[in-house]
Amino acid sequence: MTVVTSAQTSYQNQPGYNDCLLPPTNASFLAPAAKSSATITGDSKNAASDGSTESEVDLKDLIDAQLVKLLTMPTSLPDREFTHYKAKLTTNLPRDLHLVQAWLSALDESTNEGAKEKQQEVRQQVIDYMLHHNGVSIWALPLRKVVESLVISE
């Protein structure tokens, strides 16, 4: 009996052939924050965290107020679509992101002469943010849609 063998060698059953490469031993690519460590001993309090929580609360209140103002502006969206985006924004918008506060305040402070340009600028910044960050489409897409649909009279 004759056995026909293939000209090609199969490496499927060779252990380790298709394994992933090991990560480099030099961990210099890790974030600097991962390398640093802080030690707190005794009954000491972290003074920076007390002040930051107060400023975070202020920022959250400011973003909430600006979001309410944005959502009361006239839009060209149908009521059902606007209600959907409003619900997405009120539940998912990060209240601690300074960038969101900057976008909302830019829309809030725009005058009639530069309102259209400011609207387009904020729209483009939201799109750029969406392209560079993962997991933000749940709130960034509704924000972009609302910003795009703002009715600005010149």
129, part of any domain: yes
Which residues pair with residue 150 across a beta bridge? 75
25, part of any domain: no
List the one residue out of 56, 142, 122, 55 whose CA is nearest residue 95: 56
Rg (alpha carbons) of the chain, rounded to whole number: 26
User: What is the SS3 string spanning 48-97?
Assistant: HHHHHHHHHHHHHHHHHHHHHHHHHCCECCCHHHHHHHHHHHHHHCCCCC
Report how many helices (DSSP H) and strands (DSSP E) the chain contains, helices first.
6, 0
Are 129 and 140 in contact by the 8 Å Cβ rule? The answer is yes
43, part of any domain: no
37, part of any domain: no
Whether the predicted model's global pTM rises above the 0.85 cut = no
| pLDDT reading at 116 higher than 70 | yes
* Domain extent for 69: 48-149
Percent of the chain with pLDDT over 90: 10
42, part of any domain: no
Mean pLDDT comparison of 24-38, 59-73, 95-109, highest-scoring range: 59-73
Question: What band does 77 get if pLDDT is binned at 50, 70 and 90?
Answer: very high
34, part of any domain: no
Q: How many domains does the chain have?
A: 1
128, part of any domain: yes
28, part of any domain: no
